[in-house]
Amino acid sequence: MTLRRSGPSCPVASAAFLSADETTAWFRAWTGNGDLNGDGFRVFGQDGTGGYAAFWLIRRGRALVEQPVVFLGSEGETGVVACNLAGFLWLLADGFGPWEAATSYEPDRVPRANRELTAIAEDFAPHLRASATAVTEQATREFPDFGDTIMELCR
């Protein structure tokens, strides 16, 4: 997955995300619905298939790092992959990307933990360590209707 990067002194600056116009154009194209905007998402990464990872701004008044992380794939895949940034970092550390977390196309895939990403997750959320499976199960329990919600917006 390619993460959009900001400057080293500001890891979550606006440059780390698609612009509002880019997000709206993408979301309209993805849903086929020209009446929508992308205000409910902050897109920060794209995987090798063309799918996007984004914060879903569903928790009013909560910080960005407390918003769920979702995946909207290039072939219509959808999923809430983590309840927040901490969970997403542990998902990555456990060797899963957002596509793998949102789909079951490769059920026999054996992920490999990543030491560098584990170090980042430990720095950011040392007391929230969880396996990728636990992270995705928690996200699915908390947001079971995400896929249906998004599909209802499609034309």
Q: How far apart are CA 86 and CA 124, in angstroms?
A: 7
**pTM assigned to the model:** 0.86
Q: How far apart are CA 88 and CA 104, in angstroms?
A: 18
Given this model, what pLDDT does residue 106 score?
64
Tell me the residue ranges of DSSP E strands in the chain.
Answer: 2-3, 41-46, 52-56, 69-72, 78-82
**Tens digit of pLDDT at every position of the chain (155 positions):** 554 443 343 344 456 899 999 999 999 999 999 999 999 999 999 988 899 999 999 999 999 999 999 999 999 999 999 999 999 999 999 999 898 888 866 667 677 888 999 999 999 999 999 999 999 999 999 999 999 999 999 99
Given this model, what pLDDT does residue 5 score?
40
